[in-house]
Amino acid sequence: MEYVEGAPHRQRDIRVANPSSDVLSLTRLPGLCWKHFLRDLKAGEIEQVCLITERDEVVNTATAVDTGSSRPKHAEPKSAREERFASQSWEALKTSGNSVYDTIREFADVFPDKIPAELPADRG
């Protein structure tokens, strides 16, 4: 059954023995509004659902990639990353004598180290 977006009562049966596998045909398939899909599914009007997924050989090829190193070879070394991270800490800002340290600390809860369970208090 094909649904036409914007015309919920317009439908027609489509018999598909083997769906096309070329990209052009797949990208031209009509959209499906999930509200109409759920309504018709609950009403028992949908007999079969076809889900388009990746081919197995494509998935297997993607998982067969060398996992020896997840970082690119041109990436900076770990010690350089740790040094850069440490130079951006609250303590580094305080010891640098930067005049904005007090203002930044006032709004520190806006940029917490860990994601909070709730929003910070409203400052009006």
Residue-wise pLDDT tens for the chain (124 aa)? 555 566 666 666 666 656 677 778 777 877 778 888 888 888 888 777 776 666 665 555 544 445 455 566 667 788 888 888 888 788 888 888 888 888 888 887 777 777 777 777 777 7
31 and 56 belong to one structural domain = yes
9 and 46 belong to one structural domain = yes
51 and 85 belong to one structural domain = no
Other residues' Cβ atoms within 10 Å of the Cβ of residue 3: 19
- Asked if 2 contacts 12 with a C-beta cutoff of 8 angstroms, the reply is yes
Q: Would 83 be classed as within a structural domain?
A: yes
pTM more than 0.85? no
85 and 58 belong to one structural domain = no
Tokens found for residue 100 = 């904005």
Tokens found for residue 34 = 């999930």
14 and 46 belong to one structural domain = yes
Give the per-residue pLDDT at 69: 54
Q: How many domains does the chain have?
A: 2
Give the per-residue pLDDT at 70: 59
Q: Would 117 be classed as within a structural domain?
A: no
7 and 58 belong to one structural domain = yes
- Residue 49 CA to residue 40 CA, distance in Å, equals 12
- Residue 44 CA to residue 29 CA, distance in Å, equals 23
Q: Would 70 be classed as within a structural domain?
A: no
Domain around 100? 78-110
